[in-house]
Homo-oligomer: A and B are copies of this chain.
């Protein structure tokens, strides 16, 4: 769970930075989907990381839907960044961080009490 929380905050930061770096690219018109997915992924990672950080009254049902949302957001953002990874170093890094977060969320989801 600690690994998953760290991964969520890392991914939030990486996605915010990638969305911003996209704005400075000469081919910004082709990066619009990447920007949108990065922003969405960053917001969902922050909320998921915070939900998982709250352990005193941990509510598995909330953790479950937050993790499911985060897995999907990371997957879609990672797929889009992968398309640009060869031209843009920030997309290559962001894809990597998204994949790590997706995997960490998937592991955390499987470890949730049913």
Contacts of A72 in B (CB 8 A): 61-62, 64-65
- Chain A interface extent, by class: 35 or more
Q: Mark A17-55, 1 if CB is under 8 A from B, else 0.
A: 100110110001100110111011111101101110111
Copies in the complex: 4
B44 and A51 contacting across the interface, CB-CB below 8 Å = yes
Is chain A's binding surface mostly helix, strand, loop or mixed? helix
Known contacts A43-B46, A43-B51, A66-B44: A36-B20 contact under CB 8 Å: yes
Contacts of A91 in B (CB 8 A): none
Contacts of A59 in B (CB 8 A): 33, 36-37, 40, 76
Cα(A70)–Cα(B46), bound, Å: 14
